[in-house]
Amino acid sequence: MTLYSRIAGTGSYLPPRRLSNADLVADLARQGVESSDDWIVERTGIRARHFADTGVFSSDLAFEACKQALNAAGRGPQDIDLVIVATSTPDMVFPSTACILQHKLAQLSPEAAGIAGAPAFDVQAVCAGFIYAMSVADAMIRAGNARRALVVGAEVFSRLLDFQDRTTCVLFGDGAGAVVLEASEQAGILATDIHADGKHVGLLCVPGHVHGGEVLGHPVLKMDGQGVFKLAVGVLEETARAVLAKAGLQDTDLDWLVPHQANIRIIQSTAKKLKLPMDKVILTVAEHGNTSAASIPLALDAGVRSGQVKPGQLLMLEGVGGGFAWGSVLLRY
């Protein structure tokens, strides 16, 4: 018997504080930084983003998204035997955000305490993190090392932004998305494809670290926008074609592209290379901005809950982020 992993439920959560471009531009103006709604929309397609309040962490956003995903799957925390969180903004240096999330889920009810003891760990591949996490969970389920996994992308990227740099601070937002991935005899995830090349580390990074109780370096996001764009459009096409080839399928077989929601221009370029009309692309970048590892599961859940994504359809999830890391997941929903 061939064992697959299959999505049983999806969930998402955005913190309540929504900042439209007008809101953000007004905030920036008070700090002496110029921008405009037109400038942001023209270059990125972003019209709003959500920021978490002080004292709200990635595990808090993940917790809310996981409750939705578990409910959609008809499961409780006690049914989960693997927790993987993709994040670049962990609650602490250690332990992992996944362990913190696991403990919060265990407190939902006496039965929920059954999640304790399951392996829980973080994956750090920045905006490609959810793709990496799905790939790891799929491999563990296929190997028989887990039966049911919570796979989460959660970020409070607003904490990493330099609000004196208008080229980056307008791009990112906070949020979380989650899926319940279950072992199944029915094909779900058909193929995965992940890559990294550390020579591009300088294109997108947060070059700071903790040492002796102090933060050294520059703990805010630095990005070469043109460099990221040129690299992203190339590797996204490559990984898309690679994952299709692994499954013996063509781009014409795709029902939906669920891309990392970084920039409308990158998304449009990728769709064009795959000869996909934009009405076959799930888009949330306008309302969410770039939520890094959370963007793909947020978009996936939006597609499912809107009724766009239907059972049996063929989906390609793909993302690229700092590292540089990139990859794709091909699945039958």
Residue 112 near residue 105 (C-beta atoms within 8 A): yes
- Look-up of token digits 């397609």: 45
pLDDT at 289: 98
pLDDT at 45: 98
48-50 and 4-13 beta bridge pairing: unpaired
Q: How far apart are CA 72 and CA 59, in angstroms?
A: 20
Active site residue 205: no
Catalytic residue of the set 21, 50, 99, 127: 127
Catalytic residue of the set 99, 260, 263, 288: 260
- If you write DSSP's letter for every residue of 300-312 in order, what string do you get? HHHHHHTT-S-TT
Q: How far apart are CA 196 and CA 131, in angstroms?
A: 12
Digitized pLDDT (tens) for each residue of the chain, 333 residues in all: 789 999 999 999 999 999 999 999 999 999 999 999 999 999 999 999 999 999 999 999 999 999 999 999 999 999 999 999 999 999 999 999 999 999 999 999 999 999 999 999 999 999 999 999 999 999 999 999 999 999 999 999 999 999 999 999 999 999 999 999 999 999 999 999 999 999 999 999 999 999 999 999 999 999 999 999 999 999 999 999 999 999 999 999 999 999 999 999 999 999 999 999 999 999 999 999 999 999 999 999 999 999 999 999 999 999 999 999 999 999 999
Active site residue 260: yes
pLDDT at 1: 77
> Where on the phi/psi map is residue 27: left (φ > 0), alpha (ψ -120 to 50), or beta?
alpha
DSSP 247: H
Structure tokens at 102: 């696991």
Pick the closest to residue 134 from 177, 186, 176, 86 (CA basis): 86
Residue type, 169: C
Helices (H), 88-224: 97-106, 129-142, 166-169
Burial class (CB in 10 A: 0-12, 13-18, 19+), 63: buried
82-86 and 120-123 beta bridge pairing: parallel
Residue 146 near residue 84 (C-beta atoms within 8 A): no
pLDDT at 2: 87
Active site residue 290: yes
Q: Which domains does the chain have, with CATH numbers?
A: 4-186 (3.40.47.10), 190-332 (3.40.47.10)
- CA distances (Å), origin 105, targets 68, 108, 121, 237: 12, 6, 15, 38
**Phi and psi angles of residue 214, each rounded to the nearest 5 degrees, phi first:** -125, 155
Catalytic residue of the set 50, 66, 200, 290: 290
Helix (H) or strand (E) holding 211: strand 208-211
